[in-house]
Amino acid sequence: MGSISLEDFAQAEITAVKFSSPYLDGLLPLDTITVEDANTLALCLQEMEQEDGELMKFCAVLEVEQPGAFTEAVSIAMDRDDYELVPEDMDEYGKQVLRRTGADDEVIDTIDGYMDFSRLGEDSMAEDGVRRTEFGLARRLSKPFPPAPEIGQAMM
């Protein structure tokens, strides 16, 4: 058996990648992967698999952010606390918005029937830059996602 003549991992080339989740195929750019970046992402993925919904959130964010390089995907994985999946139900999202502003369940129960939570949810989703993906509705906490381009929108 021969030895590998490498000084360090920087000289190694990754020629194939297999993910533990089939959802990641096609969402991650696979060019210019370093061993260090692959290892970092693998550790992040292991953490995500231990937390309910984290892998789906990561996939949703990848679909929206569309990283152009593997290092960008690793950065997203490391900064995944900057994102959240939000409820599909507009009424529930409206209530979530009120909770973020400090309203507790008692206040929400009191105004239920007097307020259009669904309308608040719909308006807030647009303001918060919530984007629909194959994996659910995703929101970036630090800075809203830009609006999604309209399908069939002409370039001017």
**Which pLDDT band holds residue 148 (cuts at 50, 70, 90)?**
confident
Range from 33-37, 41-45, 73-77, 124-128 carrying the lowest mean pLDDT: 33-37
SS (H, E, C) 62-109: HHHHCCCCHHHHHHHHHCHHHEEEECCCHHHHHHHHHHHCCCCHHHHH
CB crowding 45-72: b at 16 or more within 10 Å, else e: beebeeeeebbbbbbbbbbbbebeebbe
List pLDDT tens digits, range 94-118. 999 999 999 999 999 999 999 999 9
Residue 38's nearest CA partner among 19, 55, 54 is: 19
Nearest CA to 119 out of 87, 89, 90 is that of 90
Angle 64-61-66 from CA coordinates, rounded to 5°: 45
Tokens of 88: 């599909």
CA separation, residue 92 to residues 2, 98, 108 (Å): 62, 10, 11
- Identify the weakest region by mean pLDDT among 22-26, 50-54, 89-93, 132-136: 22-26
